C-alpha cells in the first residue's frame, strides 16, 4: 500500500531514482518490468536499506509528478505479464489513484488537515520530544535510522513509512499531523492525498478504529535483521475526530474550445502534457512553472526543477511552439504569458486536491476578467477510477480490471 546523517550532495540524493526526465523514467520502468510479477509480489515488503537492491521500482517520484502516468506503468507491465500475475503491482500503483480519488470526493479532509497541523505546530513550539524525533535522536534505533535516511535521500521504503508513522503516533505520542508534515518536507514523492490519508490510516482515522501497530519482530523480519527496536508501544488505540462528510461527486470540467488560440500551462502535478493533449491542439506557447512555494521540500524542489524543464522541452516539441520556464504560478506571470501568446484560453492538466489546485482556483477570476478561460483537462484514468473511491480500497480494487478492459488494456 502506498502510504505516503550528513547533508548529501544532489547527485547522491537522486542516485537511487532515475534522472528527472521522462526518458530516464521509462528506461527504469522497462528494466523493472521483468520483476513486476511474482518477484515483486513476494518481496515488495522487504526493506533492505539504502544502497541495496530492492524489489520495488523506486519510480514513485516519476509517478507522483506524472513524468510517468499510472497508465504508463500498468500498460508496460501488462505487455509482459498477465493481469493476475502482475495483480499485486497493479494494485499498488492504484493505491495512489485511490487516495487521490478519495480526497477529490472529500476535499474538506485536506482543509481539516491544514488547520489541525497549524494548531499542532503552535502547540508544539519548543517541544524537546518533537525536536528529538525530527533529529533522529529518540534512542529507537530503527526510527532514528529512518530519519537519517529520509533526510539524506528524500525516500523511505513504503513499509518503513508505515512503521515510522506508527512509532511517531503510538510510541512517541506526537501529533500525527506533524508527522505528516515531516514527510511532506522531506519525501521527494509526497502528494497531498497519499501522504495525508496514509497517516490518517495508521492513526485509525481513515478507517475509523483500525490502526497500524509497528512490532519489533515484524521490523526485524522485513529489514533482514538490521533492526530490533525496543520500547515500542504494545497497543495502538485509534485516534478520534468529528465525522467526515460523506463522499461527494466528481465535478465535471468544462470542455476546452479547440478553435481558439491557447497557452498551455504545465505544473508539477502533471509533467506529461504531450500524452494529454493532441499535437494539433491550438497551443501557441507553453508556460512551464516550478513554483517552490507549492512544493514542500528541498529534494522535491531539485527533482521538480529539472523535471519541469524536461516537460517544457517535450511539450514545445510536441506542439511545435516555444516554451517559457517560470518560478511562480501567479496572476502576473500567467497573464503576461497568455497575452504574449495571443491566448484566449489557458489549457492545463487538471490538478488534484492540494496546493496546485488551490493556486489555480485563485487565478481563475483574474484570467476571466481579461476574457481568458482557464480550462483544466482531467485524464481518462482519473475520470474512470476516481468516482469509485467512495468506500474502502477493496471496493475500489474490484473496479480496476473492468476499467482496464474498458480502456482496451486487457
Residue 353 lies in a domain: yes
Closest CA to 348 of 270, 252, 265: 265
Residue 235 lies in a domain: no
Residue 230 lies in a domain: no
Task: Give phi and psi for 348, each to the nearest 5.
Answer: -155, 145
Distance between CA atoms of residues 90 and 101, nearest Å: 16
Q: Which residues contact 329 (CB under 8 A, 6 or more apart)?
A: 267, 289, 291, 294, 356, 359, 360, 363
Task: Give phi and psi for 405, each to the nearest 5.
Answer: -65, -45
Same-domain status, 86 and 154: no
- CATH value at residue 356: 3.40.50.620
- Per the structure, the complete domain to which residue 326 belongs is given by 262-377
Same-domain status, 355 and 269: yes
Q: Which residues contact 48 (CB under 8 A, 6 or more apart)?
A: 54, 223, 224
Same-domain status, 210 and 314: no
State mean pLDDT over 66-85. 97
Distance between CA atoms of residues 222 and 214, nearest Å: 12
Same-domain status, 144 and 217: yes
Same-domain status, 32 and 73: yes
Residue 50 lies in a domain: yes
Same-domain status, 118 and 217: yes
- Measured from the Cβ of residue 166, the count of other Cβ atoms closer than 10 Å reads 24
pLDDT by residue (tens digit) across 134-184?
Answer: 999 999 999 999 999 999 999 999 999 999 999 999 999 999 999 999 999
Residue 236 lies in a domain: no
In 156-282, where do the E strands start and end?
262-266
Q: Which of 206, 222, 238 is the last residue of a domain?
A: 222
Q: Which residues contact 212 (CB under 8 A, 6 or more apart)?
A: 162, 165, 166, 201, 202, 236
Same-domain status, 350 and 397: no
Same-domain status, 266 and 373: yes
Same-domain status, 213 and 306: no
Total domains in the fold of the chain: 3
pLDDT at 29 over 90: yes
- CATH value at residue 42: 1.25.40.80
- For residue 93, the model assigns a pLDDT of 97
Distance between CA atoms of residues 298 and 300, nearest Å: 5
- Give yes or no for a contact between 168 and 174, defined as CB atoms under 8 angstroms apart: yes
Radius of gyration of the chain (CA): 21
Same-domain status, 213 and 300: no
Same-domain status, 135 and 218: yes
- Give yes or no for a contact between 310 and 20, defined as CB atoms under 8 angstroms apart: yes
Residue 144 lies in a domain: yes
- Give yes or no for a contact between 225 and 132, defined as CB atoms under 8 angstroms apart: no
Residue 135 lies in a domain: yes
Q: How confident is the model at residue 270 (pLDDT cuts 50, 70, 90)?
A: very high
- For residue 16, the model assigns a pLDDT of 82
- CATH value at residue 218: 1.10.579.10
Same-domain status, 198 and 268: no
User: What is the percentage of the chain residues whose pLDDT exceeds 90?
Assistant: 94
Task: Give phi and psi for 33, each to the nearest 5.
Answer: -50, -45
- Give yes or no for a contact between 271 and 308, defined as CB atoms under 8 angstroms apart: yes
Q: How confident is the model at residue 13 (pLDDT cuts 50, 70, 90)?
A: very low
Amino acid at each position: 500500500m502506498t502510504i505516503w546523517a550528513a547533508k548529501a550532495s544532489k547527485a547522491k540524493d537522486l542516485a537511487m531514482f532515475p534522472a528527472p526526465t521522462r526518458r530516464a523514467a521509462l528506461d527504469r520502468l522497462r528494466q523493472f518490468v521483468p520483476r513486476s510479477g511474482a518477484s515483486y509480489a513476494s518481496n515488495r515488503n522487504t526493506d533492505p536499506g539504502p544502497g541495496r537492491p530492492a524489489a520495488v521500482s523506486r519510480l514513485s517520484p516519476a509517478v507522483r509528478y506524472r513524468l510517468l502516468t499510472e497508465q504508463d506503468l500498468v500498460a508496460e507491465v501488462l505487455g509482459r505479464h498477465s493481469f493476475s500475475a502482475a495483480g499485486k503491482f497493479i494494485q499498488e500503483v492504484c493505491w495512489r489513484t485511490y487516495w487521490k480519488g478519495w480526497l477529490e470526493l472529500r476535499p474538506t479532509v485536506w482543509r481539516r488537515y491544514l488547520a489541525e497541523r497549524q494548531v499542532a505546530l503552535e502547540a508544539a513550539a519548543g517541544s524537546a520530544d518533537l525536536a528529538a524525533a525530527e533529529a533522529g535522536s529518540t534512542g529507537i534505533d530503527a526510527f532514528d535510522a529512518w530519519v537519517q535516511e529520509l533526510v539524506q535521500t528524500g525516500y523511505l521504503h513504503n513499509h518503513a513509512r508505515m512503521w515510522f508513522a506508527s512509532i511517531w503516533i503510538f510510541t512517541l505520542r506526537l501529533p500525527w499531523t506533524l508527522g505528516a508534515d515531516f514527510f511532506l518536507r522531506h519525501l521527494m514523492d509526497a502528494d497531498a492525498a497519499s501522504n495525508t490519508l496514509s497517516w490518517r490510516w495508521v492513526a485509525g482515522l481513515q478507517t475509523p478504529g483500525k490502526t497500524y501497530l509497528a512490532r519489533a519482530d515484524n521490523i526485524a523480519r522485513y529489514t533482514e535483521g538490521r533492526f530490533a527496536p525496543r520500547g515500542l508501544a504494545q497497543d495502538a488505540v485509534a485516534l478520534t475526530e468529528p465525522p467526515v462528510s460523506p463522499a461527494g461527486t466528481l465535478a465535471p470540467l468544462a470542455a476546452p474550445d479547440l478553435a481558439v488560440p491557447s497557452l498551455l500551462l504545465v505544473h508539477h502535478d502533471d509533467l506529461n502534457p504531450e500524452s494529454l493533449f493532441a499535437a494539433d491542439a491550438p497551443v501557441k506557447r507553453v508556460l512551464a512553472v516550478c513554483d517552490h512555494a507549492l512544493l514542500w521540500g528541498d529534494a522535491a524542489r531539485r527533482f521538480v526543477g529539472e523535471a519541469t524543464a524536461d516537460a517544457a522541452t517535450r511539450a514545445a516539441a510536441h506542439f511545435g511552439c516555444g516554451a517559457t520556464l517560470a518560478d511562480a504560478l501567479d496572476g502576473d506571470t500567467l497573464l503576461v504569458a497568455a497575452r504574449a501568446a495571443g491566448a484566449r484560453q489557458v489549457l492545463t492538466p487538471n490538478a488534484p486536491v492540494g496546493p496546485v489546485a488551490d493556486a489555480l482556483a485563485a487565478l481563475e477570476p483574474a484570467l476571466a476578467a481579461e476574457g481568458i478561460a482557464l480550462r483544466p483537462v482531467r485524464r481518462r484514468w482519473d475520470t474512470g477510477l476516481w468516482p469509485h473511491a467512495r468506500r474502502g480500497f477493496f471496493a475500489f480494487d474490484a473496479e480496476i480490471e473492468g476499467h482496464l478492459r474498458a480502456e482496451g488494456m486487457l
